[in-house]
Structure 1
């Protein structure tokens, strides 16, 4: 049974997702002047969880859509879907559950703008980058890097709710820096 959990864990690309949520945390900390209030800490924790779940779902979708290519590359040929330890429908259900849980947490307990931006980032990576850019241009990582650069903005949004133009300006600057 534990090995089944390991397969699903591996679908989430935990090392990549760790970097994503780390940069989201940076955005959260930069959004707060001084120590966080109790509400900001709660928003940050729930935002972190929602962003982590969405990034994990995007990673699973990426593996689902790239399984054929992954089977041909030594670096990715061990992935759970490629070796048959999970089936495509299981990956789809797993990713769908992660997305539903992520969006519920973000919409209900954080704020709608964080949910919208997080979902857009998920689509940017899991669909636009994976399905189109990887196959269309050698500049895929540069263009697709936008999805990877948005987590600081997501973190900022989780804390501030992007209430004014300065929030958008500061968060956009973080994306440009990344």
Structure 2
């Protein structure tokens, strides 16, 4: 399975890197391919290193403005002209989307894939790994949107929330 992962390129604390590393090991051992932003820094590097070390493939989709940060040993690296093209290619090259801890770029990516799924433009599973409660606020907001009638379908049809890396892969492989 080609698994797109949205996550930070920032260097983060062990409370985020540990679960990301565990997730990456499961991806590689499961024979899956990581489709990610292509960066060789921060949490993106941690996950790519873990997938590579456990036998998985790496497909990077980077963007021209970040070309210098792209990983050199990916099995495949695509450089897009802009961020919109990058997001579209990340989604089109994957069969599932997993969201790890990240900043504004990650938030932009997850809201876009949720919006596209809401409109039936894709039916890929989306899993949000809520490491150390990082996404508690977002989950609360999404539940409020559902409760107050802002979502045309149940939230559980849009996204699955997981507390641990093993839960992510169990859901995707079921």
Same fold (TM over 0.5): no
Considering only CA atoms, is the larger Rg found in Structure 1 or Structure 2?
1
Higher relative contact order (CA 8 A, sep 6+): 1
Which is strand-richer, 1 or 2? 2
- How does the TM-score come out when normalised to structure 1? 0.30
Q: Output the TM-score relative to the length of structure 2.
A: 0.30
Between Structure 1 and Structure 2, which shows a larger proportion of helix residues? 1
